[in-house]
Structure 1
C-alpha cells in the first residue's frame, strides 16, 4: 500500500505564498506636504511621495476646495518616479482642501486615495 506524503505539496504552497507576498504589495502614499490633516499657512507647492515608482502618464492629483472646485495645478514627477509635485498659480486661500490622488505603479496596479488639510 502506498502512503500519500503531503510534505512536498505543503512546501510548494509555502514557497508560492511567500513569493507572492512582495508581488501583491501595492504602492502607498508614504509622505505628503502638506501632510494629511495638517493646518498650514498659504502654500503654492504640494508634494506626494509613494513607496514605489509611478507611471507619470497615469499618475497625478487634484486639489479641491470646500466648494468642490478643482484648483488649477501643474504637476511634475521626480527623477526617481516616486514623488509627484504640484505647483499652483497662486497661494491657496484660507479654508479646507482635499487632495485626490491617482497613480499607476510600475507593476501596473492603479491606486487612488484622498486626504484633507487646512490653510489658515
Structure 2
C-alpha cells in the first residue's frame, strides 16, 4: 500500500501563490479639468491626472469638436509626472467636445478612454 502525503503539493501551491503575488492595477484617469460631462466657460487648457506616471513618449490626448476635428494643442507633463496638460492655441468656442486619451504605464500596459464636456 502506498502512503500519500499532501505536504509536497501544499508546499508547491504555496510557492506558486507567493511568487504570483498581487495583480498590478492598470493606470486609470483619476481627475480631469474640465471634468467629464461638465459645462464650462471658454478654456485654454485641458488637464488629465492618472493614477500612475505614464510614459510621455507613448501617452497623450486629443480634444475633438462636434464636427470630429481635432483642436490644436501643445501637451506637457506636470512636475508630479501623473498629469498631462494640453494648452490650446486659442480658447474653445461654444459647443460640445470630446477628450480622447491614451497612455502607456511603466509596466507596458496601454490604456485608452474618452469623455465629453461642453463649452457655453
Q: TM-score, normalised by structure 1?
A: 0.90
RMSD over equivalenced CA pairs, Å: 1.3
Q: Which residue of 2 aligns with 1:69?
A: 69
Structure 2 stretches of 5 or more lacking a match? none
- Residue 3 (str. 1) matches residue 4 (str. 2): yes
In the TM superposition, 1:10-21 aligns within 5 A as 10-17=13-20, 19-21=21-23
Q: Which residue of 2 aligns with 1:118?
A: 118
CA distance in 2, matches of 1:2, 1:11: 22
CA contact (8 A) 1:63 1:70 kept: yes
CA distance in 2, matches of 1:58, 1:78: 16
Structure 1 stretches of 5 or more lacking a match? none
Q: Which aligned segments of 4 or more residues in structure 1 are displaced greater than 3 angstroms? A: none
Shift in Å at residue 9 of structure 1? 3.2
What SS class does the counterpart of residue 7 from structure 1 fall into? helix
Larger Rg: 1 or 2? 2
Shift in Å at residue 47 of structure 1? 0.2
How many corresponding residue pairs? Answer: 117
In the TM superposition, 1:1-120 aligns within 5 A as 1-5=2-6, 6-17=9-20, 19-22=21-24, 25-120=25-120
CA distance in 2, matches of 1:50, 1:97: 20
Cα shift readout 1:72-114 (whole Å, capped 9, x = no counterpart):
0100011232100000011111111000001111111111111
What SS class does the counterpart of residue 52 from structure 1 fall into? coil
Q: TM-score, normalised by structure 2?
A: 0.90
Shift in Å at residue 36 of structure 1? 0.7
CA contact (8 A) 1:55 1:81 kept: no
